Amino acid sequence: MTRAFAAPLTAVDHVERTGLDAVTAVKRITADDPYLGGHYPHLTIYPGVFSVETVYQAARAEVLRDRAGATATLVAVDSVSFRAPLLPGDTLRAECTLSEVEDGRVTVRATCKRSDGQTAAKVRMTLAVREDQP
């Protein structure tokens, strides 16, 4: 039996640097996104875990921006609170603040907002950053 797997999710359309340790990721949710059709049969909704992925992709891009050859790995989703659904036509804005802590770890705190400004999710995660080894 063969299995088909979805292509990697592009959970960010673009990332804007909004401060020294802050970025905002933008993801437009469209009805024809292939993963939306079967999430809920009678309500097309952006899966909550994809909001977490949006935060991860944005934070990873910022952490690696000036670190050629480094890697950033998600090591913990410390907390997630889903507060409102994201629907086709919404634009997700994930406002992320990054704080470097000991041992090459970065804590990310994010508020994900819908087009109408309502908070859709709050996420806190930890990334492990490994610099390129000589």
- Active-site positions read 39
Give the residue from 83, 69, 131 showing the smallest Cα distance to 111. Answer: 83
Residue pair 127/59 in contact by the 8 Å Cβ criterion: yes
Residues 18 and 118: their CA atoms lie apart, in Å, by 20
Residue pair 50/85 in contact by the 8 Å Cβ criterion: no
